[in-house]
Amino acid sequence: MASTPRTSPEVGGMGHSVKRKEDPRFLRGKGNYVDDIQLPGMLHMDIVRSPYAHARIVKIDPSHALKIPGVLAVITGETLAQYKLHWMPTLMSDTQMVLPTEKVMYQAQEVAAVIATDRYAAADGVEAVEVEYDPLPVVVDPFKALEPGAPVLRTDKPNKKDNRIFHWEVGDRKGTESALAGSDVVVEQKIYLPRIHVASIETCGIVADFDRIRGKLTVYMTTQAPHAIRTVIALVAGHVGLSEEKIRVISPDIGGGFGGKVPVYPGYVIAVAASVVIGKPVKWVEDRMENLQADSFARDYHITARMGAKKDGTMTGLEIKTIADHGYADAAANPSKFPAGLFSICTGSYKMPKAFAEVDGVYTNKPPGGIAYRCSFRVTEAVHAIERMTDVLAQELKMDPADLRLKNFIPADEFPYKSALGWEYDSGNYAGALKKAMDLIGYAALRKEQAEKRKKGELMGIGISSFTEIVGAGPSKHFDILGIKMFDSCELRVHPTGKATARFGTKSQGQGHETTYAQIIAEELGIPAAHVEVEEGDTDTAPYGLGTYASRSTPTAGAAGAIAARKVRDKAKKIAAYLLEVAEDDLVWEPGKFSVKGAPQKSKTIQDIAFAAYTNHPQGMEAGLEAVDYYDPPNLTFPFGSYICVVDIDRGTGEVKIRRFVAVDDCGNIINPMIVDGQIHGGLTMGMAPALLEEISYDENGNVQGGSFMDYLLPTAMETPRWETDKTVTPSPHHPFGAKGVGESATVGAPPAIANAVVDALSHLGVKHIDIPITPEKVWKILKEKGVAE
């Protein structure tokens, strides 16, 4: 289990549940979120949106809007076309509209923007803009979109004759086919993961401020990746005179990101353009309905999976084919070589000798996206598939699902493990985590209880999910976004009085970096975490980084922090040797000080050394005590865990009640246990929500269903069970302090645990699979069909 921390609580290094340094401003109502920002002369922007999913724009009449006192301008696609800003690249090198000049391609698409002196006038202006549309045939079914003769949506792409975006495959197609053909048992299942939306409590927004005199653009933006945004703005708007050294992106306090604040939304670009043209700050903050209906979604994967096994349950092969509905543009923020993200982790925690996966991306008349929901680049989809298939197989073999997993887990002594789809898993102890979870929940007793209840016609189920995650993108050999490699960075400076400032290329949206990064420095240098000021998010000062998403911060920027601190320690050692008049080899390090071997009373603290770095450094050495590290991870990290969920089903209403949920997670060495538990609690809740409640869907005319909190159902404290969490610790062998990422593990692992539990409750009736969200009506229909409804 967790080992004793090496540093004292006063220093607060790894392993201490240091209370969060960022909390005071949030507790006192002094956070600085984008909508809190008010600049002199600031204007407000609001957006006119299309009621149609696919329509030609016949006419936009802004005249009534312009008559409203306070309304200054109405910006259309024609306006932006003059600056060639009406289209922009997506992060996957597709293109999407900023504002349309010819047609709209999804309901709620941006059509025009109203600029006004206050937000009430802007709202009135939006209502007064008149737009005439000529509806076009709508395509919402990706399978229909692929049929010959389907309307071609991307008429803007010359020579485009279909709605295909990409085909991606990995693994051994023929080998897997024959492995399955030769298996004793093959199970097949179609699995659909519907569209969902991450819905952070803070929506997206920007204040764009172009200073005409200095020629400098400052942008306050809800963004998880400020540097990438700065470079994108420079590339996209370079031709209108914006130059990267004169662009400053500030990501202030962010009210939740979860991937939804990575993409570049049209509203941001329009606000920037408006500010440049008008020469005043322009604020745009979207409504919740705009957020749900137009911002990047997640999932929408139509999966067909086949898994083979021997009679005794040994898995022989896995074949997965997926149709990926991306909306009208591929605006997912995947690493460029991975259009289906890290979906190829789908062989999961098991020794899978043969595997093949292919994903075909398709255009439809829906908002573009879509990996924005705490998914680690499609790992939620991959894990849902493998964990559901494992239970489908267990049911077919009449084997206990825990036994089937234990039989097939990659053994703890076979790491690093090369998967059939090309990943080298760094470390794992899957059986350890599952056994711990089974103990904690009392698995054997629950199975007994289930058997008793079945005799009385009561429905209870136990579901397991033993997931392997893949995070920390990523090694420069394979990982880039729009060509920018996915390293991350830390710039660490120790001041004369022994305090430090550390800046990083990532950007916390609630993950607690101001505390955990300080703890990393504290661990390496012995400077108390309370004395390390962590900064992120201002591109004028922070070193270049790719931002925070896909659980990459600890694996990349955290590592950079440790390495930078070690570089500082190396220099500190030289100064210590000089001050103590010994050779470096004669020095021994303990957190916070160097002392002479065999003469521990002769020592210098890191504070002494810091002071000396500016006042008494050896001749020939540069003054100062600082270092920068750009960390290129040698591999990804593979956190894992086992979750067990117990459900009871109401035979009258079909409601599913989660009675207990035990989560055993392993993210390697833990910086702050309190913060890790917080991430797990939140992640489990965001795993339960898609499993039982959340869905964004479209009728055949492309009208969105679930476009407000009335119908897009976020769990309250009443629907959310009291999560039970525990850990195992299996360090990453390649990470500087053995840590792995953890922010998304629970969102990845929880949905299949819940789905498996519900199916398990009904498996004796012959039920094999239910697609999420598992609504009461879905369950009730099954109960009725099987004749067991109340």
Partner 1 sequence: MIPASFDYHQPKSLSEAVDLLQRHGEAAKVLSGGQSLLPLLKLRLGSAAHLVDIGRIPGLEYIKEEGDVLKIGGRTREAELERSDLVRKKYPILADTAAVIADPLVRNMATVGGNLAHGDPANDHPATMLALGAEVVATGPKGARTIPIAKFFTGLFQTALTHDEILTEIRIPAPPARSGGAYVKLERKVGDFATAAAAAQVTLGAGGEVSRAGIALTNAGPMPILAEAAGEFLRGKKPDAAAIGQAARLASQAASPSPDRRGSVEYKREMARVLTARALAKAVARTQGA
Partner 2 sequence: MAKHSISVTVNGASQGAQVESRLLLVHFLRENLRLTGTHIGCDTTHCGACTVLLDGVPVKSCTVLAVQADGRDVQTVEGLEKDGKLDPIQEGFYQEHGLQCGYCTPGMMMTGCALLKSNPDPSESEIRQAISGNLCRCTGYVNIVKAVQHAAAAARAR
375 a catalytic residue: yes
Q: Give dist(CA 522, CA 611) in Å, integer.
A: 17
Q: What is the pattern of x (binds partner 1, CB under 8 A) and - over residues 656-695?
A: -------------------------------------x--
From partner 1, partner 2, none, which one binds at residue 765 (CB under 5 to 8 Å depending on kind)? none
Enter the tokens of residue 151.
């309307």
| Nearest to partner 1 of 39, 714 (CB atom) | 714
Active-site residue, from 20, 299, 374, 388: 374
How many CA atoms within 13 Å lie on the side-chain side of 82? 7
82 a catalytic residue: no
The span of 181-189, 510-518, 695-703, 758-766 binding partner 2 (CB under 8 A) equals 510-518
| Nearest to partner 1 of 530, 714 (CB atom) | 714
Enter the tokens of residue 551.
């659980």
Which residues make Cβ contacts (< 8 Å) with residue 497, sequence separation at least 6?
Answer: 607, 610, 611
Does 440 bind partner 2 (CB under 8 A)? Our answer is: no
Q: Which DSSP symbol is given to 548?
A: S
Q: Which DSSP symbol is given to 151?
A: P
Strands 164-171 and 354-362: antiparallel
The residue written with tokens 């003769």 in the block is: 149
The span of 120-128, 206-214, 341-349, 733-741 binding partner 1 (CB under 8 A) equals 120-128
The span of 52-60, 117-125, 238-246, 372-380 binding partner 1 (CB under 8 A) equals 117-125
Q: Give dist(CA 786, CA 765) in Å, integer.
A: 7
Does 68 bind partner 1 (CB under 8 A)? Our answer is: no
Candidates 349, 466, 509, 728: give the one binding partner 2 (CB under 8 A): 509
Candidates 134, 188, 287, 540: give the one binding partner 1 (CB under 8 A): 287
Find out whether 728 and 466 touch, Cβ atoms under 8 Å: no
Candidates 245, 601, 716, 787: give the one binding partner 1 (CB under 8 A): 716
From partner 2, partner 1, none, which one binds at residue 775 (CB under 5 to 8 Å depending on kind)? partner 1
How far, CA to CA in Å, does 470 sit from each of 224, 424, 729, 741? Answer: 19, 10, 16, 9
DSSP H stretches of helix in 532-605: 553, 559-580
Count of residues in contact with partner 2, rule CB under 8 A? 58
Q: Give dist(CA 353, CA 317) in Å, integer.
A: 6
Candidates 3, 9, 23, 241: give the one binding partner 2 (CB under 8 A): 23
| Nearest to partner 1 of 142, 773 (CB atom) | 773
Find out whether 295 and 286 touch, Cβ atoms under 8 Å: yes
Cβ density class 256-282: b for 16+ within 10 Å, e for less: bbbbbbbbbbbbbbbbbbbbbbbebbb
How many residues in the chain? 790
Please give, one letter per residue, the 3-state secondary structure of 364-379. Answer: CCCCCEEECCCCCCCH
744 a catalytic residue: yes
Q: Give dist(CA 519, CA 500) in Å, integer.
A: 12
The span of 143-151, 439-447, 475-483, 712-720 binding partner 2 (CB under 8 A) equals 712-720
Enter the tokens of residue 695.
């869905």
Candidates 147, 211, 708, 766: give the one binding partner 2 (CB under 8 A): 708
Enter the tokens of residue 175.
């080998």
Q: Can you spell out the DSSP letters for 452-468?
A: HHHHTT-EEEEEEEEEE
Active-site residue, from 204, 346, 375, 645: 375
The span of 29-37, 121-129, 366-374, 732-740 binding partner 1 (CB under 8 A) equals 121-129
Does 201 bind partner 2 (CB under 8 A)? Our answer is: yes
Active-site amino acid positions: 224, 374-375, 744
Positions touching partner 1 (CB under 8 A) are 119-120, 123-124, 127, 287-288, 652-653, 655, 693, 705-706, 710-711, 713-716, 718-719, 775-777, 780-781, 784, 789-790
Positions touching partner 2 (CB under 8 A) are 19-20, 22-31, 33, 35-36, 38, 119-120, 198-203, 253-256, 258, 287-289, 509-512, 674-675, 677-686, 708-710, 714, 716-718, 720, 722-723
